[in-house]
Structure 1
Amino acid sequence: MDKIVTDNLYETRNNLVMELTSLSDAQFNGKPDMNTWSIAQVCHHLVLVEEASIKAIAWGLKDSTKKEHKPIQIILLDRTKKFKAPAIVEPNIEPFDVQQIIDLLSDSRKRLITFLDTIEDKSILAEKSMKHPALGELPLDQWIEQIYLHEQRHIEQIKEIKMTI
Structure 2
Amino acid sequence: MKRTNNVLNEGRTLLNQLVNGHLEKTRKKLVKELASLSDAQFNSKADVNKWSIAQVCHHLVLVEKASLKAITWGLKGSNSNENKRKNVPLILLDRTKKIIAPKIVEPDEGPFEVEQVVNWLNDSREKLMNFLNTIEDKSILAEKSMKHPALGELPLDQWIEQIYLHEQRHIEQIKEIKLLLDAR
Q: Same fold (TM over 0.5)?
A: yes
- Alignment pair present for 1:38 and 2:52: yes
Aligned pairs, how many? 165
2:31 is matched with: 17
Corresponding residue to 1:97 among 113, 119, 138: 113
1:3 is matched with: 16
Unaligned regions of 5+ residues in structure 2, if any? 1-11
Q: Distance in 2 between matches of 1:94 and 1:9?
A: 26
Q: Distance in 2 between matches of 1:53 and 1:141?
A: 11
Residues 3-152 of structure 1 correspond to what in structure 2 (within 5 A)? 3-6=16-19, 7-64=21-78, 65-66=80-81, 67-152=83-168
How far residue 16 of structure 1 moved from its aligned partner, in angstroms, is: 0.1
Corresponding residue to 1:156 among 141, 149, 172: 172
How far residue 3 of structure 1 moved from its aligned partner, in angstroms, is: 3.3
TM-score, normalization by structure 1? 0.98
TM-score, normalization by structure 2? 0.88
Say which one has the larger Rg: 2
How far residue 94 of structure 1 moved from its aligned partner, in angstroms, is: 1.7
How far residue 4 of structure 1 moved from its aligned partner, in angstroms, is: 1.5
The answer to whether the 8 Å contact 2:61/2:121 transfers is yes
Partner deviation per Cα, 1:106-153 (whole Å, 9 max, x = no partner): 000000000111111000000000000000000000000000000000
Root mean square deviation of aligned Cα: 0.9
Extract structure 1 runs of 4+ deviating beyond 6 A: none
The answer to whether the 8 Å contact 2:42/2:114 transfers is yes
Provide the secondary structure at the position in 2 that maps to 1:45. helix
Unaligned regions of 5+ residues in structure 1, if any? none
Provide the secondary structure at the position in 1 that maps to 2:153. strand
